[in-house]
């Protein structure tokens, strides 16, 4: 499949309460590479990512999400998306190159759920990214949960349908799957892809805007999800639920919390998506099975805790 326009999630910037406490969690337990630090920020990437960074932690007085960046194919795409966003009634802001270390100019916008997004085309390559000449699987042995890359985020807010509409109409995302209250027609969960992954971002209905439900990191296999569970137990990391499997996306998963209370996920599998696929849909009466395919039930913490 030819990927044009928006290619993939590029980075996420999250707030943490104590940067010194957060760094070992993301570096040693999840297994990200610490790229560097600058003031109140620390930059990370997965071992299988070429770009300089994909995760930014910012020390702040409350946890949560600052913004998410999506990488586009060409710098000229930014002008096109600026026009399309404005045509849908979305205000845009241009951020000069270099405002974020190693990143070119960015196009910034907000959606009805209050979340902030950047589109960008250029980021410096990592000095020690994946090998490209007679490449081994990795430069040095991965550690911790062996996170390959930043995979996706799920965001909470009120008008999830309005936010999803912008991604579909202005940015050419596809809705792969959704959770619907069929009696009222209300869409409670909307899963969107700009690639052939089951989802690159999800919007989940919630009572407050600008919240993040979880940040997800790609693992290679179900065995690695089990390894993540062993690490969570060994180091007394706060577990939410899993290991288990989703009905929606079919992904294999375990959820846990960082020291600041931000929910993390490590995720493997999931179906391949192509634009000609029919949309998958779940009724709200099957929400338990849709989210946790084995347990067929939702726990209160998963539904109510976000940052």
> 133-174, pLDDT tens digit by residue?
999 998 889 999 999 999 999 999 999 999 999 999 999 999
pLDDT band at 303 (very low <50, low <70, confident <90, very high): confident
User: For position 2, what pLDDT does the model report?
Assistant: 58
From the CA atom positions of the chain, what is the Rg in Å? 18
Q: How far apart are CA 233 and CA 56, in angstroms?
A: 26
For residue 261, what are the contacts with CB-CB under 8 A and spacing of at least 6?
63, 305, 307
Residue 1 has pLDDT above 70, yes or no: no
Mean pLDDT of the chain: 96
Q: How far apart are CA 130 and CA 51, in angstroms?
A: 10
Supply the residues annotated as catalytic.
Answer: 152, 199, 214, 246, 255, 265
With 0-12 / 13-18 / 19 or more C-beta atoms within 10 angstroms meaning exposed / middle / buried, residue 12 is buried
> What is 6-120's CATH topology?
2,3-Dihydroxybiphenyl 1,2-Dioxygenase; domain 1 (3.10.180)
Residue 36 has pLDDT above 60, yes or no: yes
pLDDT band at 298 (very low <50, low <70, confident <90, very high): confident
Q: How far apart are CA 225 and CA 30, in angstroms?
A: 11
| C-alpha 45: how far from chain center | 13
* Collapsed DSSP state (helix, strand, coil) of residue 152: strand
Q: Which of the following CATH numbers is that of domain 149-303: 3.40.630.30, 3.40.1790.10, 3.10.180.10, 2.40.50.100?
A: 3.10.180.10
Contact at 8 Å (CB) between 134 and 97? Answer: no
Length reported for the chain: 307
* Collapsed DSSP state (helix, strand, coil) of residue 203: strand
Mean pLDDT of all residues in 16-28: 98
What tokens does 100 get?
């974020």
β 92-95/201-205 pair status: unpaired
Answer whether 0.85 is exceeded by the pTM.
yes
Q: How far apart are CA 100 and CA 272, in angstroms?
A: 33
Number of alpha helices (DSSP H) and beta strands (DSSP E) in the chain: 6, 17
What tokens does 146 get?
């062996």
Domain 6-120 matches domain 149-303 at the CATH topology level: yes
User: For position 280, what pLDDT does the model report?
Assistant: 97
pLDDT band at 94 (very low <50, low <70, confident <90, very high): very high
- So where are the chain's domains? 6-120, 149-303
User: For position 299, what pLDDT does the model report?
Assistant: 85
Q: How far apart are CA 203 and CA 153, in angstroms?
A: 9
User: For position 300, what pLDDT does the model report?
Assistant: 84
Q: How far apart are CA 126 and CA 148, in angstroms?
A: 14
Residue 80 has pLDDT above 80, yes or no: yes
User: How does pLDDT run across 211-255, given as a tens digit for each residue?
Assistant: 999 999 999 999 999 999 999 999 999 999 999 999 999 999 999
Among 140, 194, 127, 151, which Cα is nearest to 55's? Answer: 151
Q: How many of the other CB atoms lie within 10 Å of CB of 221? A: 12
Q: In terms of DSSP H, where are the helices of the chain?
A: 19-24, 75-87, 160-169, 222-234, 287-291, 300-304
For residue 132, what are the contacts with CB-CB under 8 A and spacing of at least 6?
none
The percentage of the chain sitting over the pLDDT mark of 90, rounded to a whole number, equals: 93
Contact at 8 Å (CB) between 150 and 173? Answer: no
């Amino acid at each position: 499949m030819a990927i044009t326009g928006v290619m993939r999630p590029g980075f996420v910037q999250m707030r943490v309460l104590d940067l010194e406490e957060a760094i070992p969690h993301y570096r040693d337990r999840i297994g990200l590479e610490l790229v560097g630090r600058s003031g109140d920020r620390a930059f990370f990437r997965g071992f299988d990512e070429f770009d300089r960074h994909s995760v930014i932690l910012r020390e702040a007085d409350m946890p949560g999400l600052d913004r998410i960046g999506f990488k586009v194919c060409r710098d000229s795409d930014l002008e096109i998306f600026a026009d399309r966003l404005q045509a849908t009634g979305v205000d845009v802001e241009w951020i000069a190159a270099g405002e974020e270390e190693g990143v070119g100019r960015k196009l910034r916008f907000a959606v009805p759920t209050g979340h902030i997004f950047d589109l960008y085309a250029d980021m410096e390559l990592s000095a020690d990214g994946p090998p490209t000449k007679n490449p081994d699987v990795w430069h040095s042995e991965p550690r911790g949960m062996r996170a390959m890359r930043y995979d996706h985020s799920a965001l909470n807010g009120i008008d999830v349908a309005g936010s999803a509409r912008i991604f579909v109409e202005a940015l050419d995302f596809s809705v792969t799957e959704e959770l619907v209250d069929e009696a009222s027609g209300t869409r409670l969960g909307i899963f969107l892809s700009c690639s052939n992954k089951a989802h690159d971002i999800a919007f989940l209905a919630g009572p407050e805007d600008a919240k993040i439900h979880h940040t997800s990191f790609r693992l290679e296999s179900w065995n690695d999800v089990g390894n993540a569970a062993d690490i969570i137990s060994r180091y007394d990391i706060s577990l939410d639920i899993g290991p288990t499997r989703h009905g929606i996306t079919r992904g294999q998963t375990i959820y846990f919390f960082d020291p600041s209370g931000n929910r993390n996920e490590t995720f493997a599998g999931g179906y391949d998506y192509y634009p000609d696929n029919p949309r998958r849909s779940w009724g709200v009466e099957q929400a338990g099975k849709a989210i946790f395919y084995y347990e067929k039930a939702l726990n209160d913490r998963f539904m109510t805790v976000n940052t």
